[in-house]
């Protein structure tokens, strides 16, 4: 076999090995070994909470694609184990080492989620999520609720939310200080707006809440704790306060109900209505899994004071036009919620958004500079229970996807190496 035959296969094998190394943390427990995960559930003051729902779950693994399939998946494929805290607030999970492992005896990311009942003015209860790996036979993981005081002050030009700062003593001691933010959600729990907490009061433009009847939640999050072999390692946490009701009273944006087309240069026949991008449903599925460009028709030229794009995968680039032929840049962004407020207000009938992932779930255009906030009254929001790992942990699934790609690359490289060796042997 010549060196030219060996080099491509060797390069592919090296690349696959490099990817596997980057994505792989070896488990330090035996598959059949008994693992105890236990702790106490307490409120912000440290008082025990009996009857709290605690769920143990595992991050997705590439082996789930091949092993955990209907109609009779192995018992180890159970996605979630649930218990409740006893009268002393204690909980306990008795599992095996294999329950903490993924492909190739890697240490799989695990979750503990404690869900608490709402108290006082809360309409949804607090939720605490720990993300960790199990590298020892016994793990003691306390779960604490965050129950800050929340005050919501409406004015003519903004909504101000004031809340107590996050108490670091309720977070796991082995990780860095949390990032804190305010999250506004609709009744179904879909994201409407979020912003970083700074200081004691945070003003929100009423246009960002539109006409939503939902909740505001304070969230503390830490994702980058160091991995320390030889013990149960905490990788991060998400601690959500209870939800307090909030009303979006700016009304609907001018784009609500506008027709749209999922193509870059649409003609009159391309536009359809109703359009899933402008229907006011923030948690609806994508209009098309493969749509990377969309154009909305406002019906007539309008001043563009504010553009809001929610759940845009990748970078969204936005343009405006009077005739859907000649396009001018409006702005771009990469976030769960993107806002563009141009300094020089253009007039446009058409708005085009391009994404290197998928188009937004919801797109809102405002033709007014600011919407007055009018406080309203209404019936209480039904409490909503939510457990399990949050969607924001999707980066963990990416890790296992990369692992799968690396394995396939290695298998392909080995097959190519063997095929060329057989060919040269003849």
Any domain includes 187? no
Any domain includes 324? yes
Any domain includes 220? no
**Integer Cα distance of 253 and 25 in angstroms:** 48
Residue 92 vs residue 411, higher pLDDT? 92
HSE toward the beta carbon, residue 146, CA cutoff 13 A: 28
Tell me the residue range of the domain where 287 lies: 259-365
CA dihedral of 57, 60, 63, 67, whole degrees rounded to 10: 60
Task: Tell me how long the chain is.
Answer: 426
pLDDT for residue 7: 52
Residues 123 and 263 in one domain: no
**405: pLDDT confidence band, cut at 50, 70 and 90?**
low
How does pLDDT run across 277-329, given as a tens digit for each residue? 999 998 876 666 678 899 999 999 999 999 999 988 888 999 999 999 999 99
Any domain includes 161? no
- pLDDT of residue 228 exceeding 50: no
Any domain includes 423? no
Residues 52 and 144 in one domain: yes
How does pLDDT run across 230-248, given as a tens digit for each residue? 456 778 899 999 999 998 8
Residues 136 and 267 in one domain: no
How does pLDDT run across 259-273, given as a tens digit for each residue? 999 888 888 788 988
**Integer Cα distance of 341 and 330 in angstroms:** 9
Residue 162 vs residue 387, higher pLDDT? 162
pLDDT for residue 244: 93
pTM summary value = 0.76
Residues 265 and 360 in one domain: yes
Share of the chain above pLDDT 70, in %: 71
pLDDT for residue 384: 36
Residue 102 vs residue 341, higher pLDDT? 341
- pLDDT of residue 63 exceeding 60: no
Any domain includes 55? yes
**Average confidence score pLDDT of the chain:** 79
Residue 394 vs residue 214, higher pLDDT? 214
CA dihedral of 179, 182, 183, 184, whole degrees rounded to 10: -170
Q: Other C-beta atoms within 10 Å of 422: how many?
A: 9
Residues 126 and 269 in one domain: no
Q: Reduced to 3 states, what is the DSSP secondary structure of residue 8? A: helix
Q: Other C-beta atoms within 10 Å of 273: how many?
A: 11
Shortest CA distance to 387 belongs to which of 84, 135, 61, 159?
A: 84
The secondary structure of residue 19, as a DSSP letter, is H
Q: State mean pLDDT over 138-165.
A: 84
**200: pLDDT confidence band, cut at 50, 70 and 90?**
low
Any domain includes 236? yes
Any domain includes 22? yes
**Integer Cα distance of 15 and 8 in angstroms:** 11
- pLDDT of residue 147 exceeding 80: yes
State the total domains in the chain: 2
Q: Give strand pairing partners of 130.
A: 112, 237
Residues 328 and 401 in one domain: no
| Token duo for residue 401 | 């996807």
pLDDT for residue 378: 39
CATH number at residue 292: 2.60.120.260
**Integer Cα distance of 381 and 118 in angstroms:** 11
**Integer Cα distance of 408 and 417 in angstroms:** 14
DSSP string across 191-252: EEEEEE--SSEEEE-GGGTTT-EEEEEEEEEE--PPP-TTSPEEEEEEEEPPBEEEE--S--
**Integer Cα distance of 251 and 371 in angstroms:** 8
Q: 């999970």: which residue's tokens?
A: 93
**Integer Cα distance of 44 and 143 in angstroms:** 10
CATH number at residue 140: 2.60.40.10
pLDDT for residue 249: 81
pLDDT for residue 86: 96
| Token duo for residue 423 | 């060919």
């Amino acid at each position: 076999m010549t060196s030219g035959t060996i080099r491509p296969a060797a390069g592919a094998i090296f690349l696959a090995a490099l990817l596997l190394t980057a994505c792989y943390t070896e488990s330090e427990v035996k598959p059949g070994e008994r693992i105890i995960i236990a702790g106490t559930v307490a409120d912000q003051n440290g008082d025990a909470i009996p009857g709290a729902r605690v769920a143990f779950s595992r991050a997705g693994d590439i082996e789930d694609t091949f092993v955990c399939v209907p109609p009779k998946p192995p018992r180890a494929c159970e996605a979630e184990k649930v218990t409740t805290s006893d009268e002393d607030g204690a909980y306990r999970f008795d599992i095996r080492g294999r329950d903490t492992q993924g492909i190739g005896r890697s240490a799989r990311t695990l979750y503990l989620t404690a869900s608490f009942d709402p108290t006082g003015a809360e309409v949804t209860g607090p939720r605490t999520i720990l993300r960790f790996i199990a590298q020892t036979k016994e793990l003691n993981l306390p779960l604490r609720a965050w129950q800050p005081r929340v005050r919501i002050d409406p004015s003519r030009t903004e909504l101000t939310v004031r809340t107590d700062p996050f108490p670091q003593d309720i977070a796991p001691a082995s990780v860095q200080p949390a990032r804190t933010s305010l999250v506004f959600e609709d009744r179904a729990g879909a994201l409407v707006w979020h912003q970083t907490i700074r200081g004691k009061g945070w003003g929100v433009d009423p246009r960002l809440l539109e006409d939503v009847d939902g909740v505001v939640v304070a969230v503390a999050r830490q994702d980058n704790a160091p991995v320390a072999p030889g013990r149960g390692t905490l990788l991060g946490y998400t601690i959500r306060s209870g939800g307090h009701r909030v009303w979006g009273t700016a009304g609907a944006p001018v784009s609500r109900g506008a027709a749209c087309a999922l193509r870059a240069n649409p003609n009159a026949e391309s536009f359809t209505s109703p359009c899933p991008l402008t229907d006011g449903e923030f948690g609806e599925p994508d209009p098309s899994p493969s749509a990377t460009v969309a154009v909305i028709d406002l019906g007539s030229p309008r001043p563009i004071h504010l553009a809001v794009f929610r759940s845009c995968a990748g970078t969204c680039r936005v343009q405006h036009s009077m005739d859907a032929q000649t396009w001018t840049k409006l702005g771009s962004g990469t976030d769960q919620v993107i806002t563009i407020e141009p300094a020089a207000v253009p007039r446009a009938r058409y708005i085009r958004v391009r994404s290197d992932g998928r188009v937004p779930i919801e797109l809102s255009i405002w033709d007014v500079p600011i919407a007055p906030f009018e406080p309203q009254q209404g019936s209480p929001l039904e409490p909503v229970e939510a457990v399990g790992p949050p969607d924001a942990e999707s980066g963990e699934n990416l890790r296992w996807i990369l692992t799968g790609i690396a394995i396939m690359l290695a298998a392909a490289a080995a097959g190519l190496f063997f095929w060329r060796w057989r060919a040269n042997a003849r």
